[in-house]
Chains A and B, each alone.
Chain A
Amino acid sequence: MYRITAKEELDVRDFFMEVEAPHVAKAWKPGQFVVLMIHKRGERIPMSIYYADRETGRLGMFIRRHGKTTFDLWDNFDVGDSLYAVAGPLGMPIEVKYYGNVVFVSDAVCGQAENYATLKAMKEAGNYTISIQTFEDKAHSYPEKFLAKPVADEHYLTTEDGSRGIKGHYLDVLRELIEKDKVDIVFGGGKLGSLKKLAELTREYGIPTIVTVRQIMVDGTGMCGSCRILYDGEIKFACRDGPMFDAHKVDWDDVIRRDSRFVREQEIAKKHYLESRGVV
Chain B
Amino acid sequence: MAVKPKLIKERVPTPEKPVEERIKSFVEVNLGYDFASALKEAERCIQCPPEYAPCIKGCPVHINIPGFLKALRENADNPDEAVKNALRVIWNDNTLPAVTGRVCPQEDQCEAPCVMGKVGDPINIGKLERFVADYARERGIDQELLEEFIAESNRKVKVAVVGAGPAGLTCALELAKMGYKVTIFEALHEAGGVLMYGIPEFRLPKDILKTELEKLEKLGVEVKTNYIVGKTVTIEELLQEYDAVFIGTGAGTPKLLNIPGILLDRIYSANEFLTRVNLMKAYLFPEYDTPIAVGKKVIVIGAGNTAMDAARSALRLGAEVTIAYRRGREDMTARVEEIGHAEEEGVKFEFFLTPVEFIGDENGKVKAVKFEKMRPLEERDRRGKRKIVGTGEYVTLEADTVIIAIGLEPNRILVEASGFKANPDGTLIVDENLMTSIPGVFAGGDAIRGEATVILAMGDGKKAAKAIDEYIRGKKANA
Also in contact, A23 and B411, with CB within 8 A (given A88-B232, A89-B232): no
Within the complex, which residue of B228, B233, B412 is in contact with A90, where a contact is CB–CB below 8 Å? Answer: B228
Contact A23 B232 (CB under 8 A): yes
* Residues of A contacting B46 in the complex (Cβ-Cβ under 8 angstroms): none
Contact A85 B189 (CB under 8 A): yes
Flag whether B106 is at the interface (Cβ < 8 A).
no
* Residues of B contacting A6 in the complex (Cβ-Cβ under 8 angstroms): none
CB nearest neighbor in B for A270: B286
Interface size on A, residues (CB 8 A): 44
CB nearest neighbor in A for B272: A224
Fill in one digit per residue for A25-58: 1 if any B CB lies within 8 Å of its CB, else 0.
0010000100001000111100000000000000
Contact A265 B287 (CB under 8 A): no
Also in contact, A268 and B232, with CB within 8 A (given A44-B280, A224-B269, A257-B265): no
Also in contact, A223 and B275, with CB within 8 A (given A44-B280, A88-B228, A235-B256): yes
Contact A43 B231 (CB under 8 A): no
Flag whether A5 is at the interface (Cβ < 8 A).
no
Contact A269 B233 (CB under 8 A): no
Flag whether B479 is at the interface (Cβ < 8 A).
no
Quick one: which of B52-73 are within 8 Å of A by CB? Answer: none
Within the complex, which residue of B228, B256, B275, B289 is in contact with A42, where a contact is CB–CB below 8 Å? Answer: B289
Fill in one digit per residue for A109-125: 1 if any B CB lies within 8 Å of its CB, else 0.
00000000000000000
Interface size on B, residues (CB 8 A): 42
Q: How far is the CB of B73 from chain A (nearest CB, A)?
A: 43
Quick one: which of B275-290 are within 8 Å of A by CB? Answer: 275-276, 280-281, 285-290
Contact A225 B256 (CB under 8 A): yes
Within the complex, which residue of A24, A27, A226 is in contact with B272, where a contact is CB–CB below 8 Å? Answer: A226
CA gap between A37 and B289 in the complex, in Å: 10
CA gap between A218 and B288 in the complex, in Å: 14
Q: How far is the CB of B360 from chain A (nearest CB, A)?
A: 10
Flag whether A84 is at the interface (Cβ < 8 A).
yes
Contact A222 B412 (CB under 8 A): yes
Quick one: which of A231-280 are within 8 Å of B by CB? Answer: 235, 240, 254, 257-258, 261-262, 264-266, 268-269, 272-273
CA gap between A132 and B254 in the complex, in Å: 39
Q: How far is the CB of A107 from chain B (nearest CB, A)?
A: 24
Q: How far is the CB of A88 from chain B (nearest CB, A)?
A: 7
Contact B265 A240 (CB under 8 A): no
Q: How far is the CB of B223 from chain A (nearest CB, A)?
A: 13
Q: How far is the CB of B160 from chain A (nearest CB, A)?
A: 14
Quick one: which of B296-317 are within 8 Å of A by CB? Answer: none
| A interface residues, Cβ below 8 angstroms from B | 21, 23-24, 27, 32, 37, 41-44, 68-69, 84-90, 218-219, 221-226, 228-230, 235, 240, 254, 257-258, 261-262, 264-266, 268-269, 272-273
Known: A87-B187, A87-B227, A223-B271. 17 other contacts (CB 8 A): A21-B226, A41-B289, A87-B188, A87-B226, A218-B276, A223-B275, A224-B276, A225-B268, A225-B269, A226-B269, A240-B413, A254-B263, A257-B265, A257-B364, A261-B293, A265-B292, A269-B286
